[in-house]
């Protein structure tokens, strides 16, 4: 057994020892005094300004959850460093900008934090990424470990030891707020683009399905599966498929509904549909529309059918009232 005191001593040695050598550094701590000037309460990311390769870079995101340091290709272009030979990297980044990204390579650049005599310079390996982001640079765990820095989102600061003293860099909450807004707009734009692509793809798929599976009415024949229960079957079905289809329907005939009256509904404790209407909203009452003699006849027939089935009921003074919508079937009816 190892005593609790011995365990604590071992943990301290493991934290302070590197390659068998003790390092003598200042204790880094955060207190109430570090909250001075911080707008509370907040949930902002820690966004700072840093000097990288002799350039002052804004919108630098300190992310302790990132396993790599990231710099955007656009930032390198503005630094005139994009023509430098990048070291090849084969690792794919996941989670950056919400998608998997294949890096363009790696580059080592000097990172400077702090001011005056407490400036600290370290060489940082950055992974170059060509993607949309509201941040110019992401400082991950490798950079924070190299700086021996401790970050506190709550206090909007990072602190690190420099020559026996502790220097600090404060985050910019206004910049963090703007970056968040930009990120939301980029994500919404990407989501709309993806949804539109999915809708177009699905529309093409459905159109293809209709083109393949639609059979003209004159190419169908009515088949009685059971007394009073009929279906339409394509005339050009081969014998084996036709027999299999009819046998399947006969074996599971109680699964299907063959009339409006058989649609008895679902018990309200199982499922219930409600209209999510804003309280106090003014009821909508549309004037009755006429679709022409032929379409009005269809409307009357359909309404009468669901009325007989008990799916709807007549009311004399409706609060909400809207016209029916006629949708053409695949057959053109």
For residue 19, count CB atoms less than 10 angstroms from its CB and return exposed for 0-12, middle for 13-18, buried for 19 or more. exposed
Is 152 contained in some domain? yes
| Spatial distance between the Cα atoms of 191 and 179, rounded to a whole number of angstroms | 18
Count of beta carbons in the 10 Å neighbourhood of residue 286: 9
28 with 150: CB under 8 angstroms? yes
According to the model, what pLDDT value does residue 273 have? Answer: 79
According to the model, what pLDDT value does residue 161 have? Answer: 92
Is 298 contained in some domain? no
Question: Between β-strands 47-52 and 105-113, what pairing exists: parallel, antiparallel or unpaired?
Answer: antiparallel
| Spatial distance between the Cα atoms of 82 and 55, rounded to a whole number of angstroms | 14
Q: Looking at the DSSP assignment, which residues form a beta bridge with residue 152?
A: 157
CATH number for the domain harbouring residue 60 = 2.40.70.10
74 with 135: CB under 8 angstroms? no
Which range marks the domain in which residue 135 is found? 24-183
In the chain, how many domains are there? Answer: 1
Is 207 contained in some domain? no
For residue 220, count CB atoms less than 10 angstroms from its CB and return exposed for 0-12, middle for 13-18, buried for 19 or more. middle
The CB-side HSE value for 42 (13 A sphere, CA atoms) comes to 20
Q: What is the pTM of this model?
A: 0.50
According to the model, what pLDDT value does residue 319 have? Answer: 82
| Spatial distance between the Cα atoms of 152 and 155, rounded to a whole number of angstroms | 5
Q: Residue 240 is inside which H or E element, if any?
A: helix 239-251
Is 306 contained in some domain? no
According to the model, what pLDDT value does residue 130 have? Answer: 86
| Spatial distance between the Cα atoms of 27 and 54, rounded to a whole number of angstroms | 30
Is 173 contained in some domain? yes
Q: Is the dihedral of CA 310, 315, 318, 323 positive or negative?
A: positive
Is 179 contained in some domain? yes
86 Cβ contact partners less than 8 Å away, ≥ 6 residues apart: 104, 105, 106, 107, 128
Q: Mind listing the pLDDT tens digit of every residue in the chain (333 residues)?
A: 445 555 555 555 554 444 444 455 678 999 999 999 898 888 889 999 999 988 999 999 999 888 899 999 999 988 888 767 788 777 777 665 556 777 888 899 999 999 888 999 999 999 998 888 889 999 999 999 999 999 999 999 999 999 889 999 999 988 888 888 887 776 666 666 666 666 666 666 655 554 545 566 667 888 888 888 888 888 888 888 888 888 888 888 888 877 777 777 777 777 777 777 777 888 888 888 888 888 888 888 888 888 887 788 888 878 888 888 888 776 667
48 with 179: CB under 8 angstroms? no
Is 324 contained in some domain? no
Is 155 contained in some domain? yes
According to the model, what pLDDT value does residue 4 have? Answer: 57
According to the model, what pLDDT value does residue 8 have? Answer: 55
């Amino acid at each position: 057994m190892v005593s609790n005191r011995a365990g604590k001593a071992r943990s301290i040695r493991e934290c302070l020892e590197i390659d068998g050598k003790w390092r003598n550094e200042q204790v880094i701590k955060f207190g109430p005094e570090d909250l001075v000037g911080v707008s509370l309460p907040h949930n902002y990311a820690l966004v700072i300004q840093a000097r990288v390769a002799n350039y002052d870079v804004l919108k630098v995101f300190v992310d302790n959850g990132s396993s790599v340091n990231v710099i955007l290709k656009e930032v390198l272009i503005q630094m005139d460093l994009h023509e430098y030979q990048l070291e090849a990297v084969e690792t794919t980044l996941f989670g950056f900008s919400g998608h998997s990204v294949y890096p363009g390579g790696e580059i080592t650049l000097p990172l400077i934090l702090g001011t005056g005599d407490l400036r600290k310079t370290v060489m940082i390996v950055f992974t170059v990424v060509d993607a949309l982001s509201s941040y110019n640079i992401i400082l991950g765990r490798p950079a924070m470990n190299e700086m021996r820095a401790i970050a506190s989102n709550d206090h909007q600061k990072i602190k690190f030891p420099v020559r026996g003293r502790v220097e600090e860099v404060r985050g910019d909450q206004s910049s963090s707020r703007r970056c968040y807004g930009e990120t939301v707009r980029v994500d919404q734009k990407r989501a709309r683009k993806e949804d539109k692509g999915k809708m177009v793809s699905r529309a093409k798929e459905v159109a293809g399905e209709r083109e393949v599976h639609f059979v003209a009415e004159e190419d169908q024949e009515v088949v009685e599966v059971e007394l009073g229960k009929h279906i339409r079957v394509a005339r050009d079905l081969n014998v084996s498929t036709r027999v299999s289809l009819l046998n399947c329907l006969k074996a599971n005939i109680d699964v299907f509904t063959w009339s409006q009256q058989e649609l008895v509904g679902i018990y309200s404790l199982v499922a219930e549909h409600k209209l999510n209407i804003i309280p106090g909203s003014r009821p909508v009452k549309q004037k009755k529309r006429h679709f022409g003699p032929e379409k009005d006849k269809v409307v009357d027939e359909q309404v009468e059918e669901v009325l007989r089935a008990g799916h709807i009921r007549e009311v004399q003074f409706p609060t909400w009232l809207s016209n029916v919508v006629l949708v053409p079937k695949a057959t053109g009816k």
